[in-house]
Chain A
Amino acid sequence: MMNDMPVFVKVEDYKDALDVMNMIRLKIEDAKRTLEKIQELKSEEDTELELWHTTIEEVERKIDFIDKTLSEPGAM
């Protein structure tokens, strides 16, 4: 019943509403761009962390080699 009831808005209010609507759209676009930037920075950070991981593994491998070499002294 209530779904079919018409709703009227004053003309001045209607114009205001359209202006606000436009501002909301612009603000949403701004927020979307900012969110994309955050996503971009997050990916950049993730890439750097992945590189850290690779570096740590590489250093570990080298240290293992040194350790192994030192624990097996060479013959005279």
Chain B
Amino acid sequence: MAKKQKSEQSHDVFYVGVRDSIEVRRSLLESAREAIHFLKRYEKVKSIRSEKTQVILKLDAEVKELRNLIAKLRKTFPATKARMQFPVRKQQCVICSEFFKTQKDLTQHMKHHQPKKKAEQRDAPITNPIILEKEERPKGNAPLSELEKLEGELADIEGKLDNLM
């Protein structure tokens, strides 16, 4: 009885023929292979980004040292009221290369490039250390962040340059 039912059920099964079955199988296998290559490349990109972050941090340290050396050099020169004409330097965004009239405009513009959510910051492989420091700064009467110090120094230098002109 059961055998008969099973036999009847097997008659109800329909099949759809697949054209170019070998080509379909080949495409599937090749797609799987490409997906694995993709993942391998992801690992490579991850390592490149990690290395790049390290090198950027190194550059950051070098530029800070350079800044200290320039400050040291400035101290060796006497303070004078000598006036000198410097070429007018336009403020430019390092990200989108847009020009701005003043440092204040540039600072305002740079806020648009800052990541909005903290979660996004964590996911991002490379983050701007300067921006990060600003995000991490606790509220209240905390000491000035690196960015604020730099902005202060920059404003000071800009002021001196304006006085020279």
Contacts and interface: CB of A to CB of B under 8 A. Distances in A.
Interface string B21-59: 001100110110011011001001100110110011011
B69 A24 contact: yes
Contacts of A14: 76
B116 interface: no
B139 interface: no
A65 B62 contact: no
Interface in A53-76: 55-56, 58-59, 62-63, 65-66, 69-70, 72-76
A44 B38 CA distance: 16
A51 B34 CA distance: 11
Nearest to B32: A59
Interface residues of A, number: 45
Contact of A31 (B37, B41, B63): B63
Contacts of B49: 45
A54 B28 CA distance: 17
Interface stretch (B12-20, B127-135, B153-161): B12-20
B69 A51 contact: no
B133 to A, nearest CB: 20
A63 B48 contact: no
Given A9-B77, A75-B17, A69 B82 contact: no
A74 to B, nearest CB: 4
Contacts of B45: 45, 48-49, 52
Given A9-B76, A31-B59, A24 B52 contact: no
A52 B20 CA distance: 28
B108 interface: no
Nearest to B72: A20
B6 interface: no
Contacts of A7: 77-78, 80, 82
A62 B31 contact: yes
A73 B24 CA distance: 12
A34 B69 contact: no
A37 B73 contact: no
Interface of B: 16-20, 23-24, 27-28, 30-31, 34-35, 37-38, 41, 44-45, 48-49, 51-52, 55-56, 58-59, 62-63, 65-66, 69-70, 72-73, 76-78, 80-84
